[in-house]
Chains A and B, each alone.
Chain A
Amino acid sequence: MSTLSERILRGEAGSFVDVPVDRALSHDGTGVQALTAFREMGLSRIARPDRTSVVYDHIVPANNSVTADLQADLRRFAVSNGVHFCDIGEGICHQVMSEGVVIPGEVVVGADSHTCTMGAFGAFATGVGASDMASIWATGETWFKVPETINIRLEGKLPEYVEAKDIALRYVGLLGAGGATYKAIEFTGDNSLELDDRLTISNMSVESGAKAGLFYADDVTCRYLRGHGRDAVPQKAEDCSYVREETIRLDDLEPLLAVPHKVDDVRPVSDFEGTPLDQVFVGTCTNGRYGDLKRFADIVKGKKVRVRTVVVPASRAVLLRAIETGVLRDIVESGAVVGNPGCGPCLGAHQGVLGEDEIGLSTANRNFKNRMGVGAKYYLSSPTTAAFSALKGEIASPEDFP
């Protein structure tokens, strides 16, 4: 009996396999480096353009002429090769992939560490670097060591104001930043998590070092994909052996933070109430989806944020829905700044970089020192905690709002 990773990769844990890549993904950052490597290999044509995506999300629109030139070169290459190309404004690559591109059972390889997000569909999805991506462009294949698997059972129902991000922070804290290195995580258990919640949870699996973070496709997955015009069938879990098993009781969870500067330094929000903030950021491949924006909007609606607040929708589809439902209006009226779909300030390049000694609260997945501003400190939280904190101008719990 096999784990889901073993089934998809068709090999036992520990063995090396060569596999066709169903979806090869890169973006304006890593794509430029992959193109350099591809040319250094003496190549010009992508073997499987039908399975290749290039999505512009990291620094969009271009912030200076160096970036613009690099993006123009990659754009010409991608278009002339006939790949699935998404120019500025379509959204974060992982979000675009989740809107009907990736289906269960696929092997998804991305030149971005958060490619693991697609594990939410029951795909084997993992990140690689630029020259691995260039190799995949060359052959349509790559090699893997089939990982051992850690099982995390998610049991029960989340309390009010506690959400998928808190689950993600909980297990990253539990495993530690290197606790799942070389391994896959399978998330199972009796819970009522929607697909968007699973995306948030799978997204952060790399923060524990994991190669992939998978959910079995079920009726929730199939219903979600039908809504995006794709057919899928559920995956049945087999009895299989895990190298480690953990259970997280969702009923017992409380709102959590990752505190500076370690993703696995996870503490209750209540321990940090009153910490003054200079900026709140809501967005990213972790928490920039419609539901995230809606929960934020529902809390700030009719009120004013007391700290500068940046909200960046994860995709054009998310932005459109937020416009149609009035969520965007609530956010703008609260005093927040809304950016175009993309990664926003997450990687510290533009759209809300912090100054020295400033303190930020972000719904992103990394709080590494200097990442979102040299000399700044960043706390990571859910959009709900971000909303309550934006209203107070300091880290706040829902309990602070009777």
Chain B
Amino acid sequence: MKGTAVRLGDDINTDQIIAGRYLRTTDKSVWAEHAFEDLDPNLSSRLKGSVIVAGKNMGCGSSREQAAVALKEAGVVAVVAESFARIFFRNAVNRGIPLFEVPGGCTCSDGDEVRISLEGSWVEINGERYRALRLSDKMMEIIDAGGIIELRRKGI
């Protein structure tokens, strides 16, 4: 799999991913439309087919799962970060979003092509291959199914 890099910094919080004023709905397209609005109002238009490449503590703050849903609905292929805040990490897994935690981070700019392999636990940018932490079997099972809802539907 591959996507176009959207480069973000450290400590991106879930209020920035989707602001509290958009939470009270069950219409997922609202969250995709307003994703990252307070960080950069033009960012949501670049999310389709993108790989988010963030710094440390990606997704910190509120437990709002709308943050993960927003990224999925907007067409984000995967999220790479130097480290993740744990609730966002679980939410993204539960929504079937491939995650790559690369200790030490990646050298990457906006627009770079990012190749990823969940099975191989690696991320490749500009010819440089970075090793990502291996997800647990349970997490892989959830992501493979497309998320925890899909997994439960199958009665697993």
Contact = CB atoms under 8 A, between A and B. Distances in A.
A105 to B, nearest CB: 22
A209 B24 contact: no
A16 B138 contact: yes
A370 B15 contact: yes
Interface in A34-79: 36-37, 40-43, 59, 66-67, 70
Given A70-B24, A112-B63, A131-B91, A177 B136 contact: no
A40 B63 contact: no
A70 B26 contact: yes
B153 A129 contact: no
A40 B149 CA distance: 7
Interface stretch (A25-33, A154-162, A271-279, A325-333): A25-33
Contact of A211 (B10, B65, B84, B86): B86
A132 B90 contact: yes
A131 B94 contact: yes
A369 B38 contact: yes
Given A129-B65, A181-B85, A369-B38, A135 B24 contact: no
A348 B26 contact: no
A145 B136 CA distance: 10
Contacts of A310: none
B24 A371 contact: no
B135 to A, nearest CB: 11
A132 B148 contact: yes
A177 B58 CA distance: 11
A36 B66 CA distance: 12
The range of chain B's interface size is 35 or more
Contacts of B57: 177-178, 181, 209
A135 B148 contact: yes
Interface in A122-140: 127-132, 134-135, 138
A29 B23 contact: yes
Contacts of A349: 20-21, 24
Contacts of A366: 15, 61-62
B44 interface: no
B133 to A, nearest CB: 11
B147 interface: yes
A42 B153 CA distance: 6
A127 B87 contact: yes
Given A30-B64, A131-B94, A369-B16, A36 B86 contact: no
Interface centre among B15, B19, B95 (most CB of A within 10 A): B15
B13 interface: yes
Interface centre among B20, B64, B91 (most CB of A within 10 A): B20
11 contacts: A32-B26, A112-B63, A128-B63, A129-B64, A131-B65, A132-B148, A135-B152, A262-B11, A368-B13, A369-B38, A370-B19
Given A30-B64, A366-B15, 11 more contacts: A33-B64, A41-B149, A66-B24, A112-B63, A129-B65, A131-B94, A134-B149, A178-B57, A348-B21, A349-B24, A368-B16
